Amino acid sequence: MKEFVLRSLRIMLGHPGIFAVFCFTVLAQVGWRMGSAFCYRVIFDSGLGQRDSAALIGALATLLGLLVVFSVAVMAQERAMSRLGTLTGKHLRHRLFEKQLAASPEFHRRFPPSDLVDRMGNDVGNVELAVVRSVPDVTLELIVIAAAVVLLFGIEWRLALVVFASIPAVMYASKPFRARASARVQSAGKANAQVLALTAEAATGYLPLVLFRAQPQFVQRFLKLIDELGNFSGQAHFNTGAAGRSAVVASGANNLLIIAVGSWLAFSGYMTPGLLVAFLAILISIGEAVNRVTAAVPMLARGAESMVRVDEVLQVPGEGGDPRETNELAAFRDEIRFEKIGFGYSGEAPILDDLSFVIPRGHAVALIGPSGSGKSTVISLLTRIYRPGSGRMLIDGEDISTATEDSLRALITAVPQTPILFTGTIRDNIAIARPSASADDIAAAASAAGLDAAIAELPAGYDTDVGAGGNRLSGGQRQRVAIARALLRRAPILIFDEATSALDAATETIVNRTTLSLRGDHTVIVVTHRLAGLADFDDILVFDRGRVVQRGRHAELVSAPGLYAELWASMQGVNTDFAAGTASISVERLARFSFLAGCTVETLTSLSTLFLLERQRENRYPFHQGDPGERFYVIARGAVEILLETEDGETRQLAVLRDGDFFGEIALVSEVPRTATVRTVTDCIFLTLHRTQFLALLEREPGLKERVEALIASRIAGQRARSPAPPPAAATIVEPAGK
């Protein structure tokens, strides 16, 4: 707290006008507190004691003058400190806002949005309040106490010694009661917890209590507990009150002692009655000052703690404005080149390893591969969200690590996996990319993104308020706004990172057509898991474990053995018609499920007719950890994440599954509860199979149940060997559909 007070005073020194006003107000208030005491001396010794009317009037006039100055001073202090608090809060909020906008992804992982909002709001508010209220009060009252102590010894040192010698006795008087009060409060807290636990237990177990007529038993238990609670609470209340009362009694006895000693000193001629009154008035000022400091300390402590939290953010090393970023990138003319790039997140295994490839200007290039293969990491490096651990990324031979921020952002723009919209209208959100864009430009970008039809259906059209984070729009609409924003930017290099993941098939076709039409004038880089729209791309880079393992056009890759052909095959054979409410999965696709391998064609044909169509919007939960497992899911379209809640209460993402993947197969043969949660990342269409229908087929296919159980057991064992974390078991084991 000391450091916070000193820092606040240094901030005040940075505003000379405010500091001058504060100094004046402190002097005026100390003058009133101390000066009034000496006016009392004149009043009692000269004015009343000697019946000197001039001295009496003079003392009263001085008191009036001091009061006027004091009144002006306190109002001036309120005005000055309010201004200082406002300036301090504005300065801290400005720095925090700039910091979070310029910070790296590591910064935002360390400080999530809710934390930053809390520091911007609650913590800065605490600092501002402490600067306005606590710092002036503590500073003033400490000066008052110091001045009063000097004056007490100046008036009568013997009486002053009595005062300070008696302080420990006054403080000790309440100590026994305070100790007992603390113990009883703890006991009362434990008893209260037991009362609440029994109340909750009785509420949740109401039905069996009624059925077994067990209410009287629980009433007796409850009465016993509240008797204990009442006993401890009563003792706690008594000792708490007694601690305060004993302090008052001790203070009264101390005052009586001081008055008695002071009266004897006055009677003996060591001091006048007026000086005794002045002494007592100053002593009262010390007591009031101590009370004010005590009252200000909690607020001051909160301000100091909040300042530490604000500094924790502000003192993170800056990410922008690196002196190395001095090269201006010219217009894109030739190629993007990755040379021996290596990258891994802090404290984790490398994601990219010696990665090299070239993307010529004007080409449409797709990056595909399993989750975690490094596709999105490549995009994060190219957009300089992260920097590589080794190697170089070049645009026309210029290393982008030394490019200025403005020139890099002028060349490259991207649509991230998760679209981010801001408070405002659809028009506002699209125009962020190019504020000078005309209404026609915005409409053209929206049309190219397949958004114009949706906008036409909205009552306010482009002026529709999207709500906080775009919550008034669907996931697909938000994605299309983000795509329109990128198209409006007209950057030479356009990047789409799973940009069509939340779109329906018709809109995805429109966006893919627009994407391909941009090549030539633009270089288009698309990260996707949907391979059906890649037939006309100029180049496809297939990633696996941080390296490019295949490269070519769709026709070449799909006909050659390798990962691309496997991924292509895994996405075939699932058909849905949601308008008609029908869905189907081919026998060939079922045969690729590892736990169904070896089944007869007749069994697979029967099984293919049992799947039902289910659709869920984004951010829904097909099931939660602990739910009973009954159904097996195949993702026809969309993406889900598998989440595990650990023993310490944290939620960890195990996997992200997309079109063609499946999960929950053990629910077909066992009633084991779900041991993980599934959340839809986008709007999803599932094909689902219920356990009862599957079990009916087991009689036709000997050994099928054993094969499923053996497969799950081996997979659990393998996950345990790879990770110390609890593996996803039973109903939530996940497997890419092509494996």
pLDDT tens-digit readout, 482-531: 889 988 988 899 998 887 776 777 777 777 787 888 888 889 999 988 88
**Arithmetic mean of pLDDT over the chain:** 83
Q: Which helix (H) or strand (E) holds 96?
A: helix 53-102
Q: Model's pTM, two decimal places?
A: 0.66
The alpha carbons of the chain give a radius of gyration, in whole angstroms, of: 38
Among the listed ranges 124-128, 433-437, 648-652, 729-733, which one has the minimum average pLDDT value?
729-733
- Identify the band that residue 347 occupies on the pLDDT scale cut at 50, 70 and 90: low
pLDDT tens-digit readout, 170-185: 677 777 887 888 888 8
Residue 253 corresponds to which tokens in the numbers above?
Answer: 């006895």
What is the DSSP-derived secondary structure letter of residue 327? B
For domain 335-557, give the CATH number: 3.40.50.300
Superfamily of domain 574-735: Jelly Rolls (2.60.120.10)
Q: What is the CB neighbour count within 10 angstroms for residue 721? A: 9
User: Which pLDDT score is estimated for 579?
Assistant: 58
What are the residue ranges of helices labelled H in 490-614?
505-518, 554-559, 563-570, 587-591, 601-608
User: Which pLDDT score is estimated for 714?
Assistant: 64
Torsion of CA 567, 571, 573, 575, to 10 degrees: -170
pLDDT at 337 over 90: yes
- By the 10 Å C-beta count (0-12 exposed, 13-18 middle, 19+ buried), 419 is classed as buried
Torsion of CA 189, 192, 196, 197, to 10 degrees: 70
Contact 279, 155 (CB under 8 A): yes
Largest CA distance in the chain: 124
User: Which pLDDT score is estimated for 721?
Assistant: 46
pLDDT at 722 over 50: no
How far, in Å, CA of 93 to CA of 627, rounded? Answer: 44
Residue 701: left (phi > 0), alpha (psi -120 to 50), or beta?
beta
Cα torsion angle, 652, 654, 657, 662, sign: negative
How far, in Å, CA of 603 to CA of 591, rounded? Answer: 10
CB within 8 Å of 276: residues ≥ 6 apart: 262, 263, 265, 266
Give the start-to-end residue ranges of the domains of the chain. Answer: 1-156+273-320, 169-270, 335-557, 574-735
User: Which pLDDT score is estimated for 356?
Assistant: 92
Share of the chain above pLDDT 70, in %: 92
Superfamily of domain 1-156+273-320: ABC transporter type 1, transmembrane domain (1.20.1560.10)
Residues found in the chain: 739
How far, in Å, CA of 479 to CA of 467, rounded? Answer: 15
How far, in Å, CA of 629 to CA of 669, rounded? Answer: 10
pLDDT at 567 over 50: yes
Give the pairing of strands 640-645 and 651-657: antiparallel
The three-point CA angle 603-568-341 to 5° equals 140
- By the 10 Å C-beta count (0-12 exposed, 13-18 middle, 19+ buried), 576 is classed as buried
pLDDT tens-digit readout, 392-402: 999 998 888 88
How far, in Å, CA of 254 to CA of 246, rounded? Answer: 12
- Identify the band that residue 378 occupies on the pLDDT scale cut at 50, 70 and 90: very high
- Identify the band that residue 729 occupies on the pLDDT scale cut at 50, 70 and 90: very low
How far, in Å, CA of 368 to CA of 358, rounded? Answer: 16
User: Which pLDDT score is estimated for 339?
Assistant: 93
Contact 613, 576 (CB under 8 A): yes
Cα torsion angle, 618, 620, 623, 624, sign: positive
